[in-house]
Structure 1
Amino acid sequence: MGGTVLGAELFIQTGCKTTPEKEAAEAGVKALPDFFTKDEIAYLDEIAETILPKTATPGAKDAKVGEFMNVMVRDCYTPEDQKIFKDGIETLEKRSKEKYSNGFMQMQPQQRTELLTALDKEAKEFNKTDEYKAKKEALAKEEHIKDSIAETKGNFGYAAASMPKHYFSMMKELTLLGFFTSEPGATKALRYAAVPGKYDPCMPYKTGDKAWAT
């Protein structure tokens, strides 16, 4: 997930009340078009809400995780990963209809949870196959050679290739990242101090206490 982090500027924007279009206009630049349609963003919101539903604390929809995914996939993903993610939405919808005779948006909450639980298990097994391990080992050797050549040329900033992820792993990662870096996630689900104090490695902790956002 480290490769998906944009830095503080993006995380501040997720809590702003102004729209990207308005911010772009104020800055005198043209806003980038959305990567997903409004229907797809709403679809991603429902997937995220199934992963992190609203309980006593806000859920993923409260944090507008669907819009967060739109920005992250558009601005940070490679074309290859963008395709995996986009195709993943179609695959998830197909799986919904095959198993429940309904699209994901029409399914009952329990059915959504069952489906995503199965996909989560499938995603965890995705990188454990012998074929995947062999490809990963071969890629690692190729990248080691590239890295050695780049070092001799003094180039330490070339983009390294990486193995493709399962589409649901991407969705789950962005759900967690988008929620816990949002205003409701950081302040309602976690404990937040706008101006943190000194570093204390031995703060008292009681079972049930929220983790710290800062």
Structure 2
Amino acid sequence: MFTYDTTRATAEAFAVAAPIDAPVSRGRRRIRELCADCVRIVLADLLLVLYRLRTVGLENIPTEGGALVIHNHVSVVDWLFVFVACPRVPRFVMHYRDYDRPGFRWLFDAFGVIPIAPKKEDPELLARADRAIDEALAAGDLVVICPEGTMTPDGELSPFREGATRIARRCNVPVVPVVLVGLWGSIFSRKNGSPLSSLPRAGRAQVSIVAGPPVAPGRVSTAYLVEMVTLLRGRHR
């Protein structure tokens, strides 16, 4: 289901990290991709041991050119499933508090993660994130963002914020809706309180990763994205 060329991964890739505003050279981008390939091999094998993975519609995620991927925010490990399912190395937009977690920032930098903050908390960081997102999409990258902005407290969709719509229109890129089904109720969700505060479920739970058709930038609206994600969730629950 998930196959990667291990000969492309090199140990030196982990030594390369770029600040959010640094221009990404072709060589640095290549090394970042090698680094990501190496890690994806390990993560894909791990997820296949822990879960029964079901994928639907991954061919809807463009293999080249700038595109925005949105997904519902069910757990603290959503990004792992999106990461291994994407046909190429994605760049995640991440809340700055998660980005600054001790021990992980070097890895996030190596993968080109873009930290972001609400305007009321850090307007300068928000402006830098917007520039980084624009540059990534203009360079043909795949950028991943959670339009809810927060992890669901009840298993349902939280209200979508306007960021994804603004980005798609501003950068003139398609939006691919992705839903994750099966992670609600896991130890990584909020069903039983804070993530990792309960015992894991017995057996290998099935997790579905479903990608819908790309939405052209001219058709993108927050209401329409909510409708698309809701429809996908309803079909694959």
- So what's the TM-score if we normalise by structure 2? 0.24
Higher Cα Rg, which structure:
1
Structure 1-normalised TM-score?
0.26
| Structure with greater strand share of residues | 2
Higher helix share: 1
